[in-house]
Structure 1
């Protein structure tokens, strides 16, 4: 298998999972672990499949091709450790930057970002799990903004549990229904929208109240 074939398999593993299982057997656990870990640990991999991969993996577990509990445990370890590494990378870079007296750095903005993550960072870390691309950057930004490690880890674990369990088990119970297979992306978007829209409306309402109070 050449480099392009490997890259194509990684980028479309959610669509090729059956083939991967047939060709590599139990090594599929390592492949899924590596993909989830890299997507959550490094900001250069936001394009890796996430939600659809977990859902489809759960569907294959229902057919007996994989052990669902082994898969869930491995993916929880991958997602929690990945986010933790991403957080520490962000924290290291943020501190290194702040040690230098760069004029182009808005220290007040960093302080406000830190305060935001202390107040709302937990919800951000949890909800970001269900939003492609955002889930890759959320722990990195949490590290840069100096969100306390204990707070981050609590919501990191909570978010991982909700993300992995909801999608893998949903795939396990419903993934082999033809209608859901054909409309998976739309269903995921609806679910994400249901989680995010109330928060956005709440934030907009708070901003409007502040503007009205000032005026």
Structure 2
């Protein structure tokens, strides 16, 4: 028999955190985080909002995914945090490995309309200037977190430095989003009787706006500065 849910599938559901929770649960979420942080094709996946919503459903996900009941909210969050962080760390290592393997080829490649070697050198300068902080910051920026480890590998970032900040950045990102989702749900429910589970679409939109705002502002103001002619 063919699952009716599969027949009704539409690609836009891939942008909805609730879809992953309802159709795959804990292990689907683990895979999504791995894919978003380690595979080129994962840049569109809903990392921040998925982790936030995962925090809201933390106890249910642990009970169904690991068959462990009555763990309590804090322990459930810790279990989820460790499992998901492991997936994110491994994902970044995969991206870094791919970058290391493709880096020499790209540095020797001739410039084309779509490829400019100078951008690789600029990226290398950026990592040398900001160091591991760039890896940590990238975790909190959609799309950027997918390509940051790949670029780090391409420009030859030190393995030890990358490994340390990869672990620190991933734990910081995962636990921040999980705890924010869970405890904000508890706060709004107990204080205002407002259930975030009934307004997930609005929450997802809000998270997307907040997390993408720095990138958009950087692009807008960066271009405006370049367009401003020097004063005499």
TM-score of the superposed pair, with normalisation by structure 2: 0.69
What is the TM-score with the length of structure 1 in the denominator?
Answer: 0.74
Q: Report the Cα offset of residue 111 of structure 1.
A: 3.1
Q: Does the aligned pair in 2 maintain the 1:121–1:142 contact within 8 Å?
A: no
Q: Does 1:14 align with 2:22?
A: no
CA distance in 2, matches of 1:78, 1:159: 13
The question of whether the paired residues in 1 share the 8 Å contact of 2:135 and 2:149 is answered with yes
Q: Please list, as runs of the form range in 1=range in 2, the aligned pairs for 1:78-89 lying within 5 A after superposition.
A: 78-89=87-98
Counterpart secondary structure, 2:41: coil
Structure 1 gaps of 5+ residues are: none
Contact 2:15-2:44 within 8 A present in 1 as well: no
Does the Cα contact within 8 Å between 1:56 and 1:175 map onto a contact in 2?
no
Map 1:132-147 to 2 at 5 A.
132-147=142-157
Structure 1 residues 169 and 160: CA distance shift in structure 2, 3 A: same
Q: Of residues 48, 73, 78 in structure 1, which corresponds to 2:82?
A: 73
Distance change (3 Å), C-alpha of 1:109 and 1:192: closer
Unaligned runs of 5+ in 2: 63-75, 189-193
Confirm whether residue 110 of structure 1 aligns to residue 157 of structure 2.
no
Supply the RMSD in Å over aligned alpha carbons: 3.5
Are the aligned partners of 1:17 and 1:57 in contact in 2 as well (CA < 8 Å)?
no
The counterpart of 1:151, out of the listed 149, 161, 169, is 161
